[in-house]
Amino acid sequence: MDAKDISYAVIKRLPRYHRYLRDLMDEGVERISSGELSRRMHVTASQIRQDLNHFGGFGQQGYGYNVAYLYSEISKILGLDSDHPMIILGAGNLGHTLANYSGFDMCGGRLIGIFDVNPALQGKKIRGVEIRMMKELPEFLRSHRTEIAVLTLPRSYAAEATAILVENGIRAIWNFAHVDLDVPDNVIVENVHLSESLMTLSYNLTEYRKKHEE
Amino acid sequence: MDAKDISYAVIKRLPRYHRYLRDLMDEGVERISSGELSRRMHVTASQIRQDLNHFGGFGQQGYGYNVAYLYSEISKILGLDSDHPMIILGAGNLGHTLANYSGFDMCGGRLIGIFDVNPALQGKKIRGVEIRMMKELPEFLRSHRTEIAVLTLPRSYAAEATAILVENGIRAIWNFAHVDLDVPDNVIVENVHLSESLMTLSYNLTEYRKKHEE
């Protein structure tokens, strides 16, 4: 199965299927019908059939989906079976949190370096990985194959750090800095703008309050 | 201006306008044309005019937008001018990071409690706020007006904690636990599923690699 035959809308739903399938495996469930998966995921059975039939893994009527097979196919499509060497820029609270984040292992992420601008952090270790100074970054990137950079630096440092990453061939940036990064088309940026998420919550709360206090 | 006249698509774009307008204020810019804002934000000027004309704040042709006025109107629509008392459930790495997160202040969030299940943390403080035990949560919610609960507990605790929150009238949950929460319709949930964001990055990286290595 080639991923280019699958629409982006389906791709965006795959991580959620991946999560539910892993839970099923943890529970020892070997196969599941679209109806049962529909009840668990609060998605229509017809949507599930449309999405998952891209991946095969279903037998005759009444058998249902083979959980382990589907999980493995979805993992491959998402690239979770590959090794992604990664670095974290910024060893503050969020950098620490992400360095210890178990989700990386599941996604093939392998932490090989942590960088900061604060000299007090130099040589300290997080999860066995030494904190280096930002000025060492260009040389590090030239000598270590690195695919993903996780950006948790304050926004005032983000543009300069991004320029160094791009110059040295970084392909993907997971951006937690509260700023839009200026990168060429061949560099992938995935933003996690926490404050935008919180503002959406604040908006919905305000609307709810208006409706019920009017 | 009433928010219910504005489409949800526009609402979802407001936090980004809010961020750019604040930057302009920090730079001392008092007014800006849609053309100049378009260059900064990499959005068409026509999109900007459509979005921002909901809020007024623009004078005659050639004047441009009044930055402070627009900023203030957007803040009001998003509910950022209200006080949102909030608690954090989970005092691990992520809970610590969020307790120290400056974005809360900007959104009217006011941290009034932190809860964990680990007795070793009892009585410690983060940012002046004492860590309490989860078993104290129901009584706390009955005696403190609380609007937002930030959920950073491991997923195995998430369902039980959510039930307590809902029973005690919490209106909004900012969910970082890697699980879908089961809540009634009148409770707002905003999910931050980090691993889904990372999987999207992994997918795009894998697709890029396939195209360029084929």
Q: Within this chain, do residues A153 and A121 fall inside the same structural domain, yes or no? A: yes
Q: Which residues of chain A have pLDDT under 70?
A: 1-5, 56-61, 214
What pLDDT is recorded for position A19? 92
Tell me the mean pLDDT in the region B31-44: 92
Whether chain B has a CB inside 8 Å of the CB on A69: the answer is no
Q: For the domain that residue B72 is a member of, what is the CATH number?
A: 1.10.10.10
| A136 falls within a domain | yes
Residue environment code for A127-145, b if the CB has 16+ CB neighbours within 10 A, otherwise e: eebebbebeebeeebeeee
For chain B, strand residue ranges (E) read: 31-32, 65-66, 84-89, 109-116, 125-126, 129-133, 148-151, 172-175, 188-191
| A209 falls within a domain | no
Chains A and B form CB pairs within 8 A to the count of 168
| A206 falls within a domain | no
What pLDDT is recorded for position B207? 87
Tell me the mean pLDDT in the region B10-16: 90
Distance CA A110, CA B27 (A): 39
Q: Within this chain, do residues A9 and A56 fall inside the same structural domain, yes or no? A: yes
Distance CA A89, CA A131 (A): 9
Q: Is B157 exposed, middle or buried (0-12, 13-18, 19+ CB in 10 A)?
A: middle
Whether chain A has a CB inside 8 Å of the CB on B1: the answer is no
Which residues in chain B (46-65) have CB-CB distances under 8 A to chain A? Answer: none
User: Which residues, at least 6 apart from B3, have a Cβ–Cβ distance to it below 8 Å?
Assistant: A203, A206, A207, A210, B11, B77
Distance CA A90, CA B175 (A): 24
Six token digits for residue B26: 């920090």
The ipTM, to two decimals, is: 0.88
The length of chain B in residues reads: 214
Q: Within this chain, do residues A65 and A130 fall inside the same structural domain, yes or no? A: no
Q: Within this chain, do residues B94 and B29 fall inside the same structural domain, yes or no? A: no
Of B12, B77, B202, the CB nearest to A79: B202
Cβ distance A195 to B75 under 8 Å?
A: no
Tell me: the pLDDT tens digits for B83-127? Answer: 899 999 999 989 999 998 877 877 888 999 999 999 999 999 998
What pLDDT is recorded for position B101? 84
Q: Within this chain, do residues B90 and B184 fall inside the same structural domain, yes or no? A: yes
| A125 falls within a domain | yes
| Inter-chain residue contact A180 with B42, CB threshold 8 Å | yes
Mean pLDDT, chain B, rounded, equals 89
User: Can you give the pTM of this predicted structure?
Assistant: 0.88
| A128 falls within a domain | yes
Q: Within this chain, do residues A99 and A131 fall inside the same structural domain, yes or no? A: yes
Q: Within this chain, do residues B149 and B166 fall inside the same structural domain, yes or no? A: yes
| B35 falls within a domain | yes
Of A84, A107, A202, the CB nearest to B195: A107
| A208 falls within a domain | no
Q: Within this chain, do residues A32 and A68 fall inside the same structural domain, yes or no? A: yes
Q: Which amino acid is at B173?
A: I
Whether chain B has a CB inside 8 Å of the CB on A108: the answer is yes
Q: Within this chain, do residues A90 and A189 fall inside the same structural domain, yes or no? A: yes
Tell me which residue range forms the domain holding B171: 84-196
Tell me: the pLDDT tens digits for A127-164? Answer: 899 999 999 999 999 999 999 999 999 888 999 999 99
Whether chain A has a CB inside 8 Å of the CB on B104: the answer is yes
Q: Nearest to residue B206, comparing CAs of A48, A13, A188, A73?
A: A188
Whether chain A has a CB inside 8 Å of the CB on B79: the answer is yes
Six token digits for residue A190: 């995935």
Q: Which of A53, A77, A101 corresponds to the end of one domain?
A: A77
Q: For the domain that residue B170 is a member of, what is the CATH number?
A: 3.40.50.720
Q: Within this chain, do residues A119 and A144 fall inside the same structural domain, yes or no? A: yes
Angstrom distances, CA of residue B100 to CA of A42, A172, A200, B103: 35, 27, 20, 9
Q: Which of B77, B111, B129 corresponds to the end of one domain?
A: B77
Q: Helices B34-41 and B45-52 sit at what angle, rounded to 10 degrees?
A: 110
pLDDT at B178 over 70: yes
| B124 falls within a domain | yes
Distance CA B126, CA A151 (A): 24
Q: Within this chain, do residues B120 and B144 fall inside the same structural domain, yes or no? A: yes
Q: Within this chain, do residues B118 and B176 fall inside the same structural domain, yes or no? A: yes
When divided into structural domains, chain A yields a total of 2
